[in-house]
Structure 1
């Protein structure tokens, strides 16, 4: 046989052997029940964990730590970080359609915003602005990548939230700032249009709501839905010294859910395909006439109904969604929900009725999270059961 042919055959044999000997690539989603029961994020100096997102196909988990995005493998080993933000990076969600992570990003001059600016060493004020931060996570390959300079993050401006945040309205208690008590936004996820269980997935945002107990127009959760299929035209890198205003003029839908007041609205929002339900994790409210649950749910199939909003005289009939009939019912108000102690710092549905839920902790003045695997039980008293 020709010597060159022998060399080629030998090379092919080595290549085939190497290919067969390699472990299978992480290209198929791991069944949720086989995922790690516990992922410890480690601790960070940038504030508490705000939200989590999981890519089960490529086996990465993402955390937002107030001014930093962390990319880690499913054992909690850090792969890379995105830093340099002087705004509040909140809840996260993974978009399986484009392979990117979306996060709520707020810039504002209230007590929280000024605290973040001071902790970041930023002098002076910054313009109020509310954005969807979009992270090209395939490019996150090392720590301390710049959100502004390293080409890993773009942003889309959300004008409706800024307009409601800066508005002055005449409530039943007189003139007040912040329409609907809007403090910005936090919880975000992808899910079907409200009233449906299938079809295209819409990016769904939930307002932050100030916990002012002296007004009646802040007792609803406010949810916006956007079709992001044409958002590339809005996306642009974000210069925090001259923030752009590229974004959709209005959402594709605005919806209201009566829960009673909460402290800063929906902290984490997720949609679960297995139960066909939306879940909203909140900090408990302070108004004594309400049950002040920390977890609420909306059935995906429940159709919005045009209704007058209780305690809000300055708008007409709006799309109102009912709470799910699961959960504990408060007889005095009819509000249903749960006093579940976790979820406000991270709640992520991962399929088949399984969820990753954050357990926040503090260690040596740094903050971290032990993210634990749960399954949905449907129990009124104990809605989630930890997988041991």
Structure 2
């Protein structure tokens, strides 16, 4: 025990004296990692800076930065929107996260928890880009300190604000878009070129059981290498609209109904696949899995889906042909309790998966446990001991 505490103290001092610089980290990640209590809002996702040994966690209205010993390095707060899934971009060393401003049930719930007034109804969906090297103390401010830039995603706003014909009834939200959440950096799906990675951003999808246009996941693909020209400082009282007009690609994935779409999206270089964790849906005609795996080796296919009372041409992705298969729909996936609040590949078939919980006072925390990918008919993952 004394040796462990001594190691932790030494490790913290090393990290504290080399902020933003390359440091030598342990050869393996801890088997379990505890976040500590982080307020009233639950964990949304994680990002790992593997080179420097930092873990970033989103807790809906704040970003937390910790080292591998569980020491809090810093945090960023002041968000009145929904900070969702995260990923680390190895090309620029920045942390990317999905950020939503809207006045639906989620947005109202956040503002109520924060004791804020409801918004004026202006919707904004952004990629938040954090400079982790500048996160050096607790409670840094997202708006006033020079550590965060945002990029506006007009494609998402257009689908969110659209009205469509669903079985003769005019309803809000094209593709039942509720915004964005899961995201990851990955190579072009179906390509042998693994060198260049793109940002994949998944829609949130409303889980309304009375509409038939919400049974596909929607995933946008962006090249962020030229995003410097779009990045703006966050102003929550005056949301900007600086961003790309269109994504490079817009993909659809047939999973059946889910509740708020892909919560966590994670690329795994070991298998070449993308892991999508969801809150399972409620439509009885579907298997309602919690976890899906997108086959990263199969090229997108041209297909048609039903939307706005007509058939439209789209590009669809393929599910990995592994695991349980629903005999009626052909959809494959796994019933798996964890992952919707955080899943991250470590390499060599290992993953961190979030087990979120709250204490008797309603304070939220998570423990990241190390799992090994199995992907057979019985198990998605097996926990490492």
| TM-score (structure 2 length as normaliser) | 0.92
Residue in structure 2 matched with residue 336 of structure 1 by the alignment: 332
For residues 336 and 311 of structure 1, do their structure 2 counterparts lie closer, same or farther at Cα, with a shift above 3 Å needed? farther
Matched positions, count: 364
1:366 matches 2:360: no
1:188 Cα deviation (Å)?
0.4
RMSD of aligned alpha carbons: 1.6
Partner SS, residue 42 of structure 1: coil
Partner SS, residue 232 of structure 1: helix
For residues 30 and 302 of structure 1, do their structure 2 counterparts lie closer, same or farther at Cα, with a shift above 3 Å needed? farther
User: Does the 8 Å CA contact 1:30/1:57 hold for their aligned counterparts?
Assistant: no
Structure 2 residue ranges without an equivalent (≥5): 1-16
Residue in structure 2 matched with residue 75 of structure 1 by the alignment: 69
Please identify the structure whose Cα radius of gyration is greater. 1
Render the CA deviation track for 1:227-280: whole Å, top value 9, x for unaligned: 000000000101100111100000000000000010000000011000110110
Residue in structure 2 matched with residue 136 of structure 1 by the alignment: 131
1:233 matches 2:229: yes
Residue in structure 2 matched with residue 57 of structure 1 by the alignment: 51
Structure 1 residue ranges without an equivalent (≥5): 1-21
Which residues of 2 match residues 31-42 of structure 1 at below 5 A? 31=27, 34-42=28-36
Which residues of 2 match residues 1-388 of structure 1 at below 5 A? 27=23, 31=27, 34-126=28-120, 127-197=122-192, 198-310=194-306, 313-314=309-310, 316-363=312-359, 364-388=361-385
d(CA) in 1 for partners of 2:311, 2:195 = 30
Partner SS, residue 114 of structure 1: helix
User: Does the 8 Å CA contact 1:268/1:345 hold for their aligned counterparts?
Assistant: yes
Render the CA deviation track for 1:202-245: whole Å, top value 9, x for unaligned: 00000000000011100000000000000000001011001111
d(CA) in 2 for partners of 1:124, 1:280 = 31
Residue in structure 2 matched with residue 19 of structure 1 by the alignment: none
Render the CA deviation track for 1:264-323: whole Å, top value 9, x for unaligned: 000000110001101100001000000000000111111111111156644521001121
User: Does the 8 Å CA contact 2:174/2:308 hold for their aligned counterparts?
Assistant: no
1:193 Cα deviation (Å)?
1.4
User: Does the 8 Å CA contact 1:46/1:67 hold for their aligned counterparts?
Assistant: no
User: Does the 8 Å CA contact 1:281/1:344 hold for their aligned counterparts?
Assistant: yes
User: Does the 8 Å CA contact 1:171/1:314 hold for their aligned counterparts?
Assistant: no
Render the CA deviation track for 1:312-363: whole Å, top value 9, x for unaligned: 6445210011211012100111000000110000001121111110000111
Deviating beyond 6 angstroms after TM superposition, the runs of 4 or more aligned structure 1 residues are none
d(CA) in 2 for partners of 1:297, 1:94 = 20
Residue in structure 1 matched with residue 6 of structure 2 by the alignment: none
